[in-house]
Amino acid sequence: MYPLIQRSYRKMMMMMMINGHHYQRLLSSSTATTNYVLNEPSEPNIVTAEIPGPQSRRLIDDLNKIQNAGAIQLFVDYEKSIGNYLVDVDGNTFLDIYSQISSMPLGYNHPALIEAVKDPRNISSFINRPALGILPPKSFNDQLHSALLSIAPSGLNEIQTMACGSCSVENALKVVCFYYRTWQRGQPPTEDDMLTCMTNEQPGSPKLSIMSFMGSFHGRTFGALSCTHSKAIHKVDIPAFDWPIADFPRYKYPLNEYSDYNQREDDRCLAKVEDLIEKYNRKAIPVAGMIIEPIQSEGGDYHGSKYFFQQLRKICTKHHVAMVIDEVQTGGGPTGKYWAHEHFEMDQPPDIVTFSKKMLIGGFYYRPMFRPDKPYRIFNTWLGDPSKLILLEQVVRVVKEQRLLERIAETGDYLLDHLKRIQNQYPSILMNARGIGTFCAIDFPTPSLRDQTIKQLHRNGVHCGGSGSATLRFRTTLTFEKHHVDQFIERFDHTLRSLSNNK
């Protein structure tokens, strides 16, 4: 009898309650997969007259007494938030298309992650954070393979974990410089290198440069800021390196109507890249590496074409410039592939790919020749957090079992079709609908109109955010589906109608 009971148990639908959330867990004996169905709200629900509500405003005022709280939008009740719906401390329920600045892979309180946290076998990893560079846990190698290397970009089979996106970029750029100087010298650092680096002098502290692109965002730490060119408030008052800044293409939309113009724009930007490499070589500040986003995410959701990135890869190879693709915001699946640069089909992989956000842990993949040749060259106390790898293992499993990348690609097509349709309804307000997967964006004619729209969308139950100066960006979870798109479009249309009527 027992096997029969066991088989019946595996097929039945079980209702579970964890942290106040009900969800359905359906086990399939034929596929050995687990399909979780979150009991999300049927729609957003705003219960306060203003956003933020009174409880949020009180907490913001309290926080402002001990730190600058000017960027705070809301205080959130994370226990009540679920799936694609964010609940604030005032009880307002929002459809969330921002997902913590693109960092929530499966949404709020996903049962697979809750189960991982509740598993007694994982308790040690959650309470004992190790100094990974010297004392990793016994499960670390297996976790790297199952969580990170199983989804590594093609051609990049080595990995370094980090705590966040900015430190991933910082250390990736250090690796670039190590590699370049070893190639330049033809040997490890000399005694003279070791002595002069201590006083910030050459040759131990060489004059090298990293190329970046106007409109880019790579982080707010010191070195990353010299590669960041999106918002002045990030950079003002901070000393910067003399590093080259190239132009990133600025296309006209619809792309098929402006193909000639956009091709010329690609070629103009590519020529500028080569000119800058040669210019900095003449200045004796050679370009050791180039860092670029597949989509300029904070700077305004600017896209580069497949041709543009294919040619950049060739330029980097030609001039012995390391190509670093920054996938902190685009990585982890929102474009319908784990890595946005894979859409470009370059003839060689990038040399380094940085990640964080939806990956739940920071770090970078790299080609074998970029491995540092000495211990402690890439090092800090934590070098990431193994407990995040436990969660990422579950994310990777759910993404694979539920075909979430294929589904997000389909949802993204559906979203973009609706954005183009509503753009045609409001041609004086909306323009340049674009995107890959659900990593979409649409522009407004002025920053003030964009900001006004975002505030009104908040009042209408959609939590969202902007990029660049006048862009509404979409940063959904991987569980975002077509019915969520329908909810957004209905509220977007209502918002635009009210703004049009108030002109």
Q: Please report, for residues 105, 107, 433, 476, 482, the alpha-carbon distance to residue 415 in angstroms, rounded to integers and kept in the order given.
A: 18, 18, 10, 11, 8
Per-residue pLDDT at 18: 45
Distance CA 402, CA 386 (A): 25
CATH of the domain at 494: 3.90.1150.10
Distance CA 486, CA 499 (A): 20
Distance CA 432, CA 174 (A): 37
Name the CA radius of gyration of the chain, rounded. 24
One of 357, 370, 439, 474 is an active-site residue; which one? 357
Please indicate, yes or no, whether residues 344 and 448 belong to a single structural domain of this protein: no
Last residue within a domain, chosen from 354, 370, 399: 399
Phi and psi for 143 in degrees, rounded to 5? Answer: -65, -40
Distance CA 132, CA 21 (A): 34
- Answer whether 120's CB lies under 8 Å from 78's CB: no
Sheet of 13-18: strand order equals: 13-18, 21-27, 34-38
Residue range of the domain that includes 413: 403-503
Q: Please report, for residues 30, 35, 147, 171, 328, the alpha-carbon distance to residue 324 in angstroms, rounded to integers and kept in the order given.
A: 42, 36, 22, 11, 12
Residue 139 has a CB neighbour count (10 Å cut-off) of 16
Query: Which residue reads 């307002």 in tokens?
Result: 92
Distance CA 62, CA 250 (A): 43
One of 33, 190, 317, 381 is an active-site residue; which one? 381
What 3-state class would DSSP assign to 227? Answer: coil
One of 88, 90, 266, 326 is an active-site residue; which one? 326
Please indicate, yes or no, whether residues 288 and 374 belong to a single structural domain of this protein: yes
Q: Is 192 a catalytic residue?
A: no
Please indicate, yes or no, whether residues 141 and 238 belong to a single structural domain of this protein: yes
Residue 62 lies in a domain: no
Residue 324 lies in a domain: yes
Distance CA 307, CA 201 (A): 41
CATH of the domain at 224: 3.40.640.10
Please indicate, yes or no, whether residues 340 and 386 belong to a single structural domain of this protein: yes
Please indicate, yes or no, whether residues 321 and 409 belong to a single structural domain of this protein: no
Residue 86 lies in a domain: no
Please indicate, yes or no, whether residues 411 and 382 belong to a single structural domain of this protein: no
Please indicate, yes or no, whether residues 393 and 410 belong to a single structural domain of this protein: no
- Cis geometry, peptide bond prior to residue 206 (ω within 30 degrees of 0): no
Distance CA 427, CA 421 (A): 10
Please indicate, yes or no, whether residues 407 and 393 belong to a single structural domain of this protein: no
Q: According to the 3-state scheme, what is the secondary structure of 299-318?
A: CCCEECCHHHHHHHHHHHHH
Per-residue pLDDT at 36: 77
Q: Please report, for residues 3, 16, 29, 163, the alpha-carbon distance to residue 6 in angstroms, rounded to integers and kept in the order given.
A: 5, 18, 10, 42
Last residue within a domain, chosen from 399, 429, 453: 399
Per-residue pLDDT at 16: 41
Q: Is 326 a catalytic residue?
A: yes
Please indicate, yes or no, whether residues 280 and 202 belong to a single structural domain of this protein: yes
Please indicate, yes or no, whether residues 435 and 349 belong to a single structural domain of this protein: no
Phi and psi for 139 in degrees, rounded to 5? Answer: -90, 0
Residue 110 lies in a domain: no
Which DSSP string corresponds to 71-103? T----B-TTT-BBTEEEBTTS-EEEESSHHHHT
Residue 418 has a CB neighbour count (10 Å cut-off) of 19
Sheet of 158-162: strand order equals: 158-162, 362-366, 352-355, 322-326, 287-292, 209-213, 245-246
Distance CA 308, CA 330 (A): 18
* Structural tokens at position 25: 């867990």
Q: Pseudo-torsion of CA 346, 351, 355, 361, nearest 10°?
A: 140
Q: Please report, for residues 4, 257, 327, the alpha-carbon distance to residue 102 in angstroms, rounded to integers and kept in the order given.
A: 44, 31, 12
One of 217, 370, 474, 492 is an active-site residue; which one? 217
Residue 102 lies in a domain: no
* Structural tokens at position 334: 């929102």
Last residue within a domain, chosen from 366, 399, 432: 399
Residue 89 lies in a domain: no
Distance CA 203, CA 412 (A): 50
Please indicate, yes or no, whether residues 343 and 440 belong to a single structural domain of this protein: no
Q: Is 357 a catalytic residue?
A: yes
Domain count along the chain: 3
**Pairing state between β 209-213 and 245-246:** parallel
Residue 104 lies in a domain: no
Distance CA 63, CA 91 (A): 20
Residue 232 lies in a domain: yes
Residue-level pLDDT, tens digit, the chain, 503 residues? 334 333 333 333 344 444 455 566 655 443 456 777 778 999 999 999 999 999 999 999 999 999 999 999 999 999 999 999 999 999 999 999 999 999 999 999 999 999 999 999 999 999 999 999 999 999 999 999 999 999 999 999 999 999 999 999 999 999 999 999 999 999 999 999 999 999 999 999 999 999 999 999 999 999 999 999 999 999 999 999 999 999 999 999 999 999 999 999 999 999 999 999 999 999 999 999 999 999 999 999 999 999 999 999 999 999 999 999 999 999 999 999 999 999 999 999 999 999 999 999 999 999 999 999 899 999 999 999 999 999 999 999 999 999 999 999 999 999 999 999 999 999 999 999 999 999 999 999 999 999 999 999 999 999 999 999 999 999 999 999 999 999 999 999 999 999 888 76
Please indicate, yes or no, whether residues 379 and 409 belong to a single structural domain of this protein: no
